[in-house]
Structure 1
Amino acid sequence: MPPPTPIRGLGPDTALGDAARRILAGRLADVRHPEAQLDGALDEDGVHDMRVATRRLRAALQVFQATGKLTRLEADVKRLQDALGDVRDLHVQDQWLDTAAKGKKDADKALAGLRQSHLSGLKAKEKKLRAELERWTDRTVPRLLKKLDSLEDAHRFAGKRVRSHLRQRLRRVEKRLERYADAPDAASAHALRKDLKKLRYELEIFQPAFRRTVGALLEVLVPLQDGLGELHDADVRLELFERAAAEAPPGQRKAARKLLPQARDERAERSEQIAREVQRWHAEAIPKRLRKALT
């Protein structure tokens, strides 16, 4: 996952409006950087990089909502993010199927049929993404650039309001962790992943205000989020193969049944990885250290 562009020269006493203008400009630049990779064929790395960048831009738009009316712009960015996500999700599972097909000559045709069936909606999703990219370039970018000049807020970048918001975000993650510990299923893992992602991107935004403390804690948070992302992909894949094993045409059912043990093993491996990261989260007292940094 590519890191965000560093924003230099911000500190705890920077006016929130000034910080908003500079950070949003940086996040916008990060979204625009992969655009060249998507001019012709929709490059898989370009789709992934732009999707991550739009998530970070949306997080910044949500965080800085009080500096100007940004709700509509955030919704426009979400449209692009969703279109990127629809294509990216198909790319991820197709990459896995491509790897799984290697060395299985007896199942080549069946796997090819399974891949073709899985990718049947890709063209429609790519068409939608191209339309959203055009809308992004023609409408959203000019509106966002115009909006940047009007953002104002005299509150401190690391003021009470910001700290309170981040502490609330942390409490949501802690509750999600408790629910996941009680029931480590796909639904609780996905909910934890979404809230953890929001906490991460918001901590990245305010990292310049909290110096090294937040940066060190992000080093622990990031592997947990990444692992949850891989677990989500494994859950999607497992559901895909279980349905194919029951409902697909005969050749594809056979291929899906052959792949199910591998998919289940990988899901179990990802789940064990998450358990280790959660244990590390508690062993290193991450919530306590974060609360202290945000006091």
Structure 2
Amino acid sequence: MIFDRTVHESFLKAFPEKVGAMLDTLKGHIDKGRDSLEEDTVHDIRVWSRRLSEALSIGAILIDRKPSRSLKMLSALRTSLGRLRDNHVQRSLAIEYGIEGLPEQLEAKDERLAAQASRSLVEFDMERLERDFLHFHRELIVVCDDSNLLERNTERISTRIKKRYSSVGKSFARSDPADFTTLHNSRISIKKLRYTLETLDGYIGLDGGTLALLKKIQDRLGKVQDLTVLLKTIGKLVNKGRLSVPVETFQRISIDRHMLVSEFLEGWRDELAVIGRFIEEPATNQYERKDKDRGNFRSGVTEKFSDGTIEKILFLASEKGLSYRGVVAYLKENPAICDRLGIEGLPSYQTLARRAGRLGKRKKTGG
């Protein structure tokens, strides 16, 4: 990452104006939403409220004052639109997977959620937000224009980025394919890092490819979360007798989710290392996989099956409620599933049990 005085001085001088432009953009989307609450408008309001919140948070570490009320207002705004946005996503997925009857039920729910979201937009106190922002903005201009504070401000911004990056590494390392909460937490951490870097885009040494990689990781984990919610929605409606879904459809959704999880688990170390090269975070070495030829980097023992392959099989066993012996037998009988999941060769159930224990110990120690 480029952290020289020239770059940071130019950023700090332009930062107050950039934050002001973000507020204007958000206001425009809110005005549009008050007229007609389309799906794209809901998305834009939530995205720009996050961007503004991150910019305000960066400004807060510069002026030593957190704009708490503004941040709470923006958070409440996102929450008020969140359920509607989630319903839009679920309806699109229901159509994509051809789940008969579900799109109609979600559309009926959409009307109620849209009415609630519209009320939230009408009641949102934009004047209050603008008044609070005006005071904050004045302080920010003074601090950003003070050359005596340049080194201090530069260090504070650098520290924030490094903390965001470190948080991503820790949450990724704790990701458990059997616990979707950990995967959701990983998505939140990468999203926070992405918004931080986007706020600083143009003033640090990040290229478009790195930002695209951040979005790719976030989108992948976001799809995992969306499919998890979809499966829960289907399960609830089926149990209530309000929906009938073929077993094959349920399995297809589960396998698609599993493939996304597997892609994440196999690639996050390399992807994080790419991001880390720009951020210059020393913890990069802690998270980057160095076990070439599928070697175990902790024990130095070369393994025939990669951790990614073992985790795929363990996840499938968890999904289907199978024992180690049972899941190996199941995959032997269903080679098409092996092909779809990218599993080349199968371990014995004894090897699977041994590696499962090792992976479990690794997770407990934060590795």
TMscore range, shorter length: 0.7 to 0.9
Deviation at 1:36, TM superposition (A): 5.2
Secondary structure at the aligned position of 1:129 is classed as helix
Q: Which residue of 2 aligns with 1:13?
A: 9
Larger radius of gyration between Structure 1 and Structure 2 = 2
Q: Which residue of 1 aligns with 2:218?
A: 225
Secondary structure at the aligned position of 1:213 is classed as coil
Gaps in structure 2 of 5+ consecutive residues: 1-5, 283-367
Taking the aligned partners of 1:87 and 1:272, their CA distance within structure 2 comes to 29
Do the aligned partners of residues 213 and 122 (structure 1) sit closer, same or farther apart at CA in structure 2, a change above 3 Å counting? closer
Q: Which residue of 2 aligns with 1:281?
A: 271
Secondary structure at the aligned position of 1:42 is classed as coil
Relative contact order: is structure 1 or structure 2 higher (C-alpha 8 Å, sep ≥ 6)? 1
Q: Which moves more between the two structures, 212-221 or 223-232?
A: 212-221
Do the aligned partners of residues 219 and 116 (structure 1) sit closer, same or farther apart at CA in structure 2, a change above 3 Å counting? closer
Q: Aligned letter for 1:186? A: F
Q: Which residue of 1 aligns with 2:186?
A: 192
Q: Which residue of 2 aligns with 1:60?
A: 55
Alpha-carbon contact 1:60-1:205 (below 8 Å) kept: yes
Q: Aligned letter for 1:200? A: R
The structure 2 residue matched to 1:243, chosen from 208, 223, 236, is 236
Q: Aligned letter for 1:218? A: L
Per-residue CA deviations over 1:105-137 (Å, capped at 9, x if unaligned) read xx7xxx32x344445543443233222212335
Taking the aligned partners of 1:208 and 1:28, their CA distance within structure 2 comes to 19
Q: Which residue of 2 aligns with 1:72?
A: 69
Alpha-carbon contact 1:173-1:192 (below 8 Å) kept: yes
Please show how residues 16-165 of structure 1 align to structure 2 within 5 Å.
Answer: 16=12, 18-35=13-30, 37-66=32-61, 67=63, 68-101=65-98, 111-112=100-101, 114-119=102-107, 121-136=109-124, 138-147=126-135, 148-151=137-140, 152-153=142-143, 154=146, 155-156=149-150, 159-165=154-160
Q: Which moves more between the two structures, 193-202 or 57-66?
A: 57-66
Taking the aligned partners of 1:243 and 1:257, their CA distance within structure 2 comes to 15
Per-residue CA deviations over 1:28-68 (Å, capped at 9, x if unaligned) read 23323434542344211111122111111111122211434
Gaps in structure 1 of 5+ consecutive residues: 1-9, 102-106
Deviation at 1:161, TM superposition (A): 1.3
Q: Aligned letter for 2:121? A: L
Do the aligned partners of residues 184 and 172 (structure 1) sit closer, same or farther apart at CA in structure 2, a change above 3 Å counting? farther
When the two chains are superposed, the root-mean-square deviation of aligned CA atoms in Å is 2.9
Do the aligned partners of residues 202 and 217 (structure 1) sit closer, same or farther apart at CA in structure 2, a change above 3 Å counting? same
Taking the aligned partners of 1:171 and 1:257, their CA distance within structure 2 comes to 41
Query: TM-score, normalised to structure 2's length?
Result: 0.64
Do the aligned partners of residues 165 and 69 (structure 1) sit closer, same or farther apart at CA in structure 2, a change above 3 Å counting? closer
* 2:274 is the alignment partner of 1:269: no
Q: Which residue of 1 aligns with 2:227?
A: 234
Percent of pairs with identical residues: 22
Query: TM-score, normalised to structure 1's length?
Result: 0.79
Do the aligned partners of residues 259 and 42 (structure 1) sit closer, same or farther apart at CA in structure 2, a change above 3 Å counting? farther
Q: Aligned letter for 2:240? A: A
